[in-house]
Structure 1
Amino acid sequence: MSYSHLDLAAAFAGRFGNEPDGLWSAPGRVNVIGEHTDYNDGFVLPFAIQHSTTIAVAVRTNRIVRVASTFAPDDDPVTADLDALEEGSVEGWAAYPLGVLWALEQSGHRCPGMDLLVDSSVPVGAGLSSSAALECAVAIAANELSEAGVSRRELAAIGQLAENRMVGAPTGIMDQSASLLGEAGQAVFLDCRSGDSRLVPLDLKGAGLELMVIDTRVSHSHSTGGYAARRRSCERGAEMMGVAALRDLSVGDLAEGAGVLDEETFRRVRHVVTENARVEDAVQLLGAKGPVALGPLLVASHASMRDDFEISCPELDTAVEVSLDTGALGARMTGGGFGGSAIVLASVDDMPAIRAAVVRAFSVAGFRAPVIFSVLPSAGAGRVV
């Protein structure tokens, strides 16, 4: 249960002994389609959700930063000197907020010392980008408090730099862009090579639809294991195909790729190339027919991630299959994979039956009970108090 703004300000005063200078918030995100395309210079279509991370911040008179969390109210704050921060110098969750301040300074912007208290309603490990929500809340606050004047597009790159270099997670720029650039009722169509983006209307309510998140409660980590291995496969595939990034290949190039690449690398490449095409198709369909037309693309995206990219798991497959069998228009896993969440697109009237069927199927399979909730395209990061 996240704190109200008033309660968070009071908790900050109790922890640090003075009032905060303000509260800033940044949302998590759901990716409609476009998975593992971002670090391949491709296309993505996420939107900001109503679940967010909020931070209370007060500027200090020195270069010391103290960060604390409402999730560990009895723990001492993590303390760091901005002048001593360097890659890998911070471990655990504090690497995200401190990494953003480090990245801002690496980009030429001097930050003041500050005290931060973090609170969040974004489920951790659910593939909804709780990490980027924290990064973007800190970025938007530090940008204002230091009067740096950094654009939101630049702040997204700073958040990515923090996650890549301080945290050590080789993620792309999608999550930070969605959190910073999102608007209510809109998805963000992002070209991850150029950084250009535009908003695409995603009127779920107007179409009588709901987008449901099924958090499988199978946690994942971007800084270890399969995510990094998939990224290396993509880089190897691009090199073997003679292109700068997989973004430069079209579906028509896959026939040639089958003769050049080993079987596993070919499947990794095929996922990224076809997923890029699905993102562009999704944007076109949203403009022509609205969100009701997205279903088949979601289904194809999940099959590609399950079979070609091999990042699904039994819980995700069950959530998708049962949802489709119970009347969903489309469903797929979302996020980096190896756990996390699935999304389900269905009519509002069909959602109760889908939800009940998924809960029942998880119980029969012996899985942990999923956490299920609906999301709507929501506003991006900003000051709240």
Structure 2
Amino acid sequence: MNHRTTCRHCGHPLSLSMVDLGAQPPCEAILTEEQFYEPEPFYPLHARVCENCWLVQLDADVSPEKIYTEYAYYSSYSESWLQHMESYTDSICTRLGLTPNHRVVEIASNDGYLLQFFADRGIPCFGIDPAANVAEKALERGIETLVSFFSTDTAEQIVKERGKADLIIANNVFGHIPDINDFLQALQQLLQEGGTITIEIPHLMRLIEGNQFDTIYHEHYCYHSLIADLKLLESQGLKLIAVEELPTHGGSIRMFIAHREDARAPDDSIERLVGIERSRGMDTPAPYQAFGEKVRQTKRNLLRFLIAAKEEGKQVVGYGAPGKGNTLLNYCGIREDFLDFVVDRNPYKHGKFLPGSRIPIRPVEAVFEAKPDFLLILPWNISDEIIRQMDGVRAWGCQFVIPIPEVRIVV
């Protein structure tokens, strides 16, 4: 583990603390039954702020090889995310006029969840992902995938073997990059002249406003505002030409990026959103300094609810085994004494245990066998989807609990 005291982009000292979530295991390091009695590595989880470029980042780097070589997250298990990506495919193909004569590359392509829609249109596409187990699922779909981390070396290899890309997609990966300057250089290398990069990333402003501290975990090295990203892109020969605000993951932004020399002029959406960020003080210490106490209050409120439920003899079960859920459970010290088990739609996780808390993971059907009093929704960002899917639990009076931004019970 590398302890970082200076900004990973500009080298300025990291003196401003945003929130300290203690020591935690990597959030996707799901345990097998054989690993249950073995020790787990715990690493500091502390988000700090660069007061020069305003990039928020972790001060401890866990090696990507320890996180991504085998990965427990499969994008295709979220119906709403698939719908979101199919809609993106339609809009970007129309916007850029993509045809079978163009080439699309996705960074962190996971199980082929997105590129399948380009393949269906006959548009040549290619994925890059370091997790061999999820890449295998993409290959089964017929999506060609290179199992590798994306870097300047990887980009050079791809350009030499396949040529440059007309569209490069990076969804929810920009925050996962420890060497952010090298990543941007690699995008610049791989991008065709006149081409477009789209980067979709959770919006730091929404994270702070929505108290979404559980989206802070070791695989998210950085947390992005437009104020910070404009500086990052400019430093690597790229420019922002448009930005969209999205509801996904508690509030995200999608950036449209081109080479600095590209003839397209930046549109008004950029100035508007930067203005909103400045009005919220995102280029001052104030919102970051206030965040930590809000997080501590959320911990107390959730524990207060769970203690009361258990003292009344109620059973509480968790829905979902996402990375964000593990940050929440480990920060709050929640184990099987509060949460009997969790369920997940992904069979890869069944029979295994959550990292740190060691709470068992079961199939969704286990909820209907146990008939708990409360269902704690850990992937709160898709709570509407989950409540629709699990509507049957209301038959015995089970209530849904949404923990973020504050504890809320849905009857």
Q: TM-score, normalised by structure 2?
A: 0.28
Structure number with higher relative contact order (C-alpha < 8 Å, ≥ 6 residues apart): 1
Q: TM-score, normalised by structure 1?
A: 0.29
